[in-house]
Homo-oligomer: A and B are copies of this chain.
Amino acid sequence: MATKIKEKMSPPETDTATRERILLEAARLFRHHGYAATTLREVADASGIKAGSIYYHFESKDQILGEVLDKGIQVVAETVRQRVDALPADATARERVAAAIEGHLWGLLHHGDFTSANIRIYGQIPAAAKNRHRKIRRDYADYWDRLLEDALERGELRPDSSTAVIRLFVIGALNWTVEWYNPQKGSFQDFVKQIRAIVFDGTFVRE
């Protein structure tokens, strides 16, 4: 974090491209093999350098993990806030949640290695890494809770379930699409429409 700020302040005297490459390849390997199963030798190989060189850019495997995890949430949270902020002030709660769903899916599916790695390995990492990553997750969950509480107060949300259950169920469902979404079976916008229809109105005709 501090490093990034410094890089922006002064002209870049180090090769930041290699650092980004390492993070990208690490995310891809964490996603497909898990954290423990991924060796730094593999990450180095995929990045076109030797294992020892990684330690010029990172202090430890653990630090790489932390940055991969954080980025997995950030790319989603930033897109969601952008989409919601772009709406007119008088937008309905349904319109706001619709924008959030589109933003969540966009960030999720366009940075699949970071987001899928996060989803897959979060439950399996050491407690220390979890603790460092927890706040960024909590903040994003809070953002959704506010969206849904607002919808409930406006009478737009069905009162059958608690907002916490809805948030957990819907985010969990959206997140899992990164495991099966196939961009060759239709446009992204068509996919978003289908998912929104299920989330908003369900799968069955009303009894």
- Out of B32, B161, B169, B199, name the residue touching A123 (CB < 8 Å): B32
B-contacting residues, A142-161, CB 8 Å: 151, 155-158, 160-161
Asked whether A184 is an interface residue with its Cβ less than 8 Å from the other chain, the reply is: no
At the interface, is chain A mostly helix, strand, loop or mixed? helix
In the complex the two chains form, what is the Cα distance from A203 to B200 in whole Å?
A: 5
In the complex the two chains form, what is the Cα distance from A13 to B45 in whole Å?
A: 51
Asked whether A44 is an interface residue with its Cβ less than 8 Å from the other chain, the reply is: no
In the complex the two chains form, what is the Cα distance from A194 to B176 in whole Å?
A: 20
Q: A37-B124, A123-B31 are in contact. Are A201 and B198 (CB under 8 A)?
A: no
Copies in the complex: 2
Number of interface residues of A (CB under 8 A): 48
In the complex the two chains form, what is the Cα distance from A151 to B204 in whole Å?
A: 9
Proximity string of chain A (161-175) to chain B, C-beta cutoff 8 Å, 1 when within and 0 when not: 110011011101101
- Out of B116, B158, B165, name the residue touching A201 (CB < 8 Å): B158
Q: A120-B124, A124-B120, A172-B176 are in contact. Are A203 and B166 (CB under 8 A)?
A: yes
Is the Cβ of B169 less than 8 Å from the Cβ of A124? no
List 6 extra interface pairs beyond A34-B34, A151-B204, A161-B194, CB under 8 A. A36-B37, A158-B203, A172-B173, A198-B202, A200-B202, A200-B204
The 4 tightest CB contacts between A and B, nearest first, are A36-B37, A172-B176, A173-B173, A202-B202
In the assembled complex, 16 residue pairs joining A and B whose CB atoms fall closer than 8 Å, in A order, are: A37-B124, A151-B204, A158-B202, A161-B197, A165-B191, A165-B194, A165-B195, A166-B198, A168-B177, A169-B173, A170-B173, A172-B176, A172-B179, A173-B176, A175-B176, A200-B203
